[in-house]
Each structure stands twice: as C-alpha cells, then as structure tokens.
Amino acid sequence: MWIRAIDMIESDIRGREQISFPARCVKALLETSQGETEYLLGSLSSLIGIVNNKGELEFRLYHKSFLDFLDAPDRGADLHVDYGACNQFVSARCLETLKSKAPQVALPSNDAKKEFDSFFAQTLPYLIYHNFCRSRFDSGDVYWWITNHPSHSRDTAILIMFSGIHKNCGRFRCLSACRVWRKTILGFCKDNGWRVPSPIDRLLEDFRATTYVYYPINVTPTTHPKSPLRPPQPTIRPPVRLGVE
C-alpha cells in the first residue's frame, strides 16, 4: 500500500513547478507511528530505496514495472493494491492531518513543522480524492489550510480547491464538504478583494451550461469563459515623469 501511495502522491503533484517533493514530508503525512516507514519499507530494499548515498531520506522505486504488477489483480494476487483502497488510504491521512493541524507523528523541530505545513497546504488541492470530498469539515479546517499556504501560490491553490472540491457533487446539490469549503473560501476571497461568483454564475455552473476554469486570469485558456472567481488584479501605476530642469 505504501509504495502505491507514495507513487500516487508523487504522480499527482509531479510537474507543479512550485511544489517540491521532500521525502521527509511524505513520510510525515503517511506515518501513524514512529519508525513505520523503516518498518514497512526497510525489508523491500530490492524494490524501493528510502535513503540516498548521503544518508538522507529519499524514496526511489527501482523497478517501475513493479507498480504495473501491483495494479494488475491477475498478476499481483494477494499483493494487488486496488486504486480505490489506496485513494481511501491517502484521503484518510490527509483528513487526519487537516483535522489535527499536524502529522500524527510529532516532528523534531518548529522548522520541520513549518516545512511540513507548507508542503501539505500546497499538495492538498491535488489530493482531493472521492473519499476526501465526502468527509466532514468546519471553517477552521479551511482557514488553517489557507493561512498555511505559501503566499506566492495561494491564489492558484484557492482556485483549484474551489473547483476540485465541487467535482463530486450532484447537480444543484453540493456535498457537505463542498458547502463548507466553498463558503469559507468565498468569505476569505470577499475579505481580500476578489471578484466572487454571482448567484447566476453558480447556477450556470451547476446547470453545466458554462464550463469555468478556475485558474488565474493570466493563465486561463482563451477557449474557456473567464472564471467568475478571480483574485484582485495588481494596480499598474503610470510611469512618473520627472521634470526637466
């Protein structure tokens, strides 16, 4: 399960230029007891490495075909890892972390905690699986996520989360998780000068008459309607002309 979960997390955040993939943060997210990583993966050294040549924690899968083996029920037999089960496992770890506002195993320092909080806040929008969307949240969970997200990429993360948390909802009927996340996000956005969706915008979204792409204006494809949720645009000041003596 762990090998599949590590690959799932890495695959879902791979290519995100502003997100690093420190193994120590992934370890902190997945562990439920001290030393669990070494206990579960240490005996699989021929398949996955957990320490690099500098003695630092680093996950390296030696044989990519092993993932194909795990994915195939007819080949993996008892070792087969169902995607849904892995999805549920990662969702449960994300939910536990968000509710506790910390990983289950205590981190060694405040700096390590800050690094983990930043990593978790950045990766969470890309780990919104089915089970996560059906969990229960309160506004404090959402505000913790927003305030711990690095400011340089917070706007994009808010837009992605606003869209992603809604993807498992039915037409005109949001799940409880979606209602909490969207209401809290919209409250934060209103307080910070965003353009927020009107009731008509929301109606059109649920009616599927309009496909909105919730990304910042400067990267929204021109083939899609402009997103009704938009961060404030920076004020461009005209150049100051200096008088000539």
Considering only residues 58 and 75, tell me which one the structure prediction assigns the higher pLDDT: 58
pLDDT tens digits for 95-124? Answer: 999 999 999 999 999 999 999 999 999 999
Query: What confidence score (pLDDT) does residue 76 get?
Result: 53
Residue 226 has a pLDDT of 66
The beta strands (E) that lie in the chain are given as: 48-51, 57-61
* φ/ψ (deg, to 5) at 107: -90, 155
Q: Is 70 strand, coil or helix? A: helix
- Ordered by start, the domain boundaries in the chain are 1-135, 138-232
To the nearest whole number, what is the mean pLDDT of the chain? 83
Instruction: Note the pLDDT of residue 220.
Output: 47
* pLDDT surpasses 70 at 17: no
The span from the CA of 147 to the CA of 142, in Å, is 9
Q: Where are the alpha helices (DSSP H) in the chain?
A: 2-13, 23-30, 36-41, 65-71, 73-76, 83-100, 110-123, 130-133, 139-148, 154-164, 176-191, 199-207
pLDDT of 87 > 70? The answer is yes
Q: How far is CA 105 from the centre of its chain?
A: 20
What pLDDT sits at residue 110?
A: 95
Per residue in 124-183, pLDDT (tens digit) is 988 887 778 889 999 999 999 999 999 988 998 998 899 889 888 888 888 999 999 999
Q: What are phi and psi of 45, to 5 degrees?
A: -65, -20
Weakest-pLDDT range from 34-48, 53-67, 167-181, 226-240: 226-240
